Chains A and B, each alone.
Chain A
Amino acid sequence: MSFLADDVLLEKFREESTKESAFTEIIKKYQERLYWHIRRMVVEHEDANDVMQNVFIKVWKGLENFRADSQLFTWLYRIATNECLSFLDSKKKKTAVSLSDHEEGLANKVKADKHFDPNKLEWKLQLAIQKLPEKQRLVFSLRYYDEMPYEEMSRILDTSEGALKASYHHAVKKVEEFILNN
């Protein structure tokens, strides 16, 4: 499925007559990439759906002022990432759990999946990922699954490339250790 270029979509969005259709196109163009990024952070589909809707409502409000200083996808990714973190923060506050309990909670959500099989390596990888601290989980997800360059990741997460490389290194080592010990 081919989509219009970002600059064309932005121009259409700024026209009142084509605003809604352009917005729909933008959603269709990026929904899946953003969805999986969100889903890998929040695990459950219902939560991912909530975050997705919040993301695109923010996109609707902010797109008018988007100045294309960065790529559209980078901007969308940044909103999605911030919404994930806000969502996870609010979950923590609502349930009043400690950080480690929260990570345990996400691992439990993985285990709750109807297809979960603890003997399979791919499930262990998912469990290992959910055990990581939030920031490391983000970095690992972006680098391992999306193969995102550090430069782009730095713009999304507002962190230096050096720090991201170190974070990814630690994350990979932790995942490896978890898999070896389990």
Chain B
Amino acid sequence: MKSPNYIAKELEELRSKLPKNAPVSGFVVEEDYFLNFPLQMLEKVKAVSGSGNFSVPPGYFDQFPSKILSAVKTEGLFDSEVKKELYEISPLLAGMVKKMPFSVPEGYFNSFSALGLFKNETVGEETALLPQNLKNSTSYTLPQDYFENFPGKVLEKLKNREEGKLVKMRPFYLRWKNLAAAAVIIGLLITGAWFMNQPQAVNSSDIGQAATTTLDEISIDELHAYLETQSPAIINQVEEAESFILEEEDFEIMFTNLTDQDLQGYLVEYVGMVN
């Protein structure tokens, strides 16, 4: 191996043979380019790898376990959708003791012990946030043996219910009145028609006689045919009067308070019958 001195000596010899003005490349590099280059490269490398873009709050990882534990505990308290819903709407109400403020009378529940019922109705364990037992405590007082006697009372009431008395809506006098009104209208109409057809004047005593005579001569079918041309109100009254069936008790009621004079007066006034 040649010694370093020999190499240096060789380079000196070569340099002396090279031209004084060595050729220069045509490219120009800005000043301090190479000085700043390493720093620039480092920044570029960091950007590509992604490190340093997302920051983590200080102490985040220290607090993380306790936060998770707290959330898990809270989630475990909501053993029903209802409790969770209540907590979401109103943490205040959800945290309240559900206590009915009224006391339970002794012997109120006959079939269960008071505490037993509360235990049966309790949902989940009582906690500071969502206690359940008091929700079901009865606070209103009740008479003794109320529930024991209640079914019997209801059955008794059902048995003792009386059927409503059947009462005819329309009293007899109204029905009799309609019948009389129908007879009057028919009589008047026929009398009027007859009167209109008679050119000579007739005295009032003859009108009733004439009406009666005319009525006797007219058949039921003719009457119906005549009434069909009349107003519905009159037809209704007549149909009602026709369909009305007088029962024996109706006759009894009808004539109970009627004197002979009343009957005679009716016959004279409306039918024209004279003794």
Contacts and interface: CB of A to CB of B under 8 A. Distances in A.
Interface residues of A, number: 41
The dominant DSSP class at the A interface is helix
A57 B96 CA distance: 38
Contact of B135 (A27, A35, A49, A145): A145
Contacts of A20: 155
A90 interface: no
B86 A122 contact: no
A39 interface: yes
B157 A57 contact: yes
Interface stretch (B20-28, B38-46, B137-145, B208-216): B137-145
A154 interface: no
A154 to B, nearest CB: 15
A53 B153 contact: yes
Nearest to B92: A176
Nearest to A28: B151
A69 interface: no
A27 B151 contact: yes
B147 to A, nearest CB: 6
A18 B138 CA distance: 33
Contacts of B92: 176, 179-180
A34 to B, nearest CB: 11
Contacts of A144: 82, 86, 98, 135
Contact of B141 (A45, A52, A126, A175): A45
Given A1-B112, A27-B150, A143 B140 contact: no
Interface stretch (B11-19, B48-56, B101-109, B261-269): B101-109
A126 B89 CA distance: 19
Interface residues of B, number: 39
Nearest to B96: A121
A176 to B, nearest CB: 5
A126 B123 CA distance: 21
B118 to A, nearest CB: 13
B97 interface: yes
B154 interface: yes
A123 B103 CA distance: 12
A39 B123 CA distance: 22
A122 B140 contact: no
A164 B141 CA distance: 31
Contact of A147 (B100, B101, B123): B123
A56 B154 contact: yes
A135 interface: no
Nearest to B91: A176
B123 to A, nearest CB: 7
Given A45-B142, A122-B134, A125-B96, A173 B89 contact: yes
Interface string B70-87: 000000000011100110
A93 interface: no
Interface in A21-49: 23-24, 27-28, 31-32, 35-36, 39, 45, 49
Interface string B145-166: 0110011011101100000000
Interface of A: 1, 20, 23-24, 27-28, 31-32, 35-36, 39, 45, 49, 52-53, 56-57, 60, 113, 115-117, 120-123, 125-126, 143-145, 147, 149, 168-169, 172-173, 175-176, 179-180
7 contacts: A1-B112, A27-B150, A36-B138, A57-B157, A60-B154, A144-B86, A149-B81
Interface of B: 80-82, 85-86, 89-90, 92-93, 96-103, 109, 111-112, 123, 134-136, 138-143, 146-147, 150-151, 153-155, 157-158
Given A122-B97, A173-B90, 8 more contacts: A23-B155, A31-B150, A53-B153, A120-B101, A121-B99, A126-B139, A147-B80, A175-B93
Which 4 pairs show the lowest CB-CB distances between chains A and B? A122-B101, A122-B99, A27-B151, A24-B151
